[in-house]
C-alpha cells in the first residue's frame, strides 16, 4: 500500500471511508440490475415485433446498445466493489498489526 499511515486515528478514518464506499458500491451494483432487466425486456419485445415492421430493427439495435451499456456498468461496479474490499482488508490488517504490536509492547 502506498499510503503511509501515521496514526490509528487516520487508519480508523480510512477504514470508515472505505466502509462507506463499499456500501455505495453495493447499492450501485444492486440497483444496476433494474436497468439491465428493462433493457433486456426492450430487446425481447422489439425483436418479437420485427416481422411487422423494419422500424423495430432500429429500436432493437438501440435496445441491444442499452443492454451492453448496462452489462458494462454492472461489470465495472463489481470490479470497483472488489477493489474497495481489497483496500478495506488491507487497512484492517494494518490495524490488527498495530493493535498486536501495541499489546506486545505493554
- pLDDT tens digits along 25-84: 888 888 888 888 998 998 898 888 877 787 888 888 898 999 999 999 999 989 999 999
Please indicate, yes or no, if residue 1 is contained in any of the structural domains.
Answer: no
Quick check: 106 pLDDT over 80? no
Q: Which of 82, 96, 93 is nearest to 21 (CA)?
A: 82
Distances (CA, A) of 101 to 5, 19, 57, 105: 15, 24, 66, 6
Domain that includes residue 74, residue range: 8-105
Please indicate, yes or no, if residue 2 is contained in any of the structural domains.
Answer: no
Quick check: 7 pLDDT over 80? no
C-beta neighbour count of 10 within 10 angstroms: 12
pTM over 0.75: no
Could you give the number of structural domains in the chain?
A: 1
Quick check: 2 pLDDT over 50? no
Please indicate, yes or no, if residue 3 is contained in any of the structural domains.
Answer: no
* Angstrom distance (rounded) from CA 70 to CA 39: 8
Q: What is the pLDDT of residue 4?
A: 54
Buried b / exposed e over 44-60, threshold 16 CB at 10 Å, is eebeeeeeeeeebeebb
Average pLDDT (18-22) is 91
Amino acid at each position: 500500500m502506498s499510503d503511509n499511515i501515521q496514526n490509528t486515528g487516520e487508519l480508523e478514518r480510512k477504514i470508515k471511508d472505505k466502509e462507506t464506499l463499499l456500501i455505495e458500491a453495493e447499492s450501485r451494483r444492486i440497483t444496476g440490475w433494474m436497468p439491465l432487466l428493462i433493457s433486456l425486456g426492450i430487446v425481447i419485445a422489439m425483436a418479437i415485433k420485427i416481422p411487422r415492421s423494419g422500424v423495430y430493427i432500429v429500436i432493437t439495435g438501440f435496445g441491444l446498445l442499452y443492454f451492453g451499456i448496462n452489462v458494462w456498468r454492472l461489470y465495472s461496479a463489481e470490479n470497483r466493489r472488489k477493489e474497495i474490499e481489497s483496500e478495506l482488508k488491507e487497512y484492517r490488517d494494518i490495524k490488527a498489526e498495530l493493535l498486536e504490536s501495541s499489546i506486545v509492547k505493554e
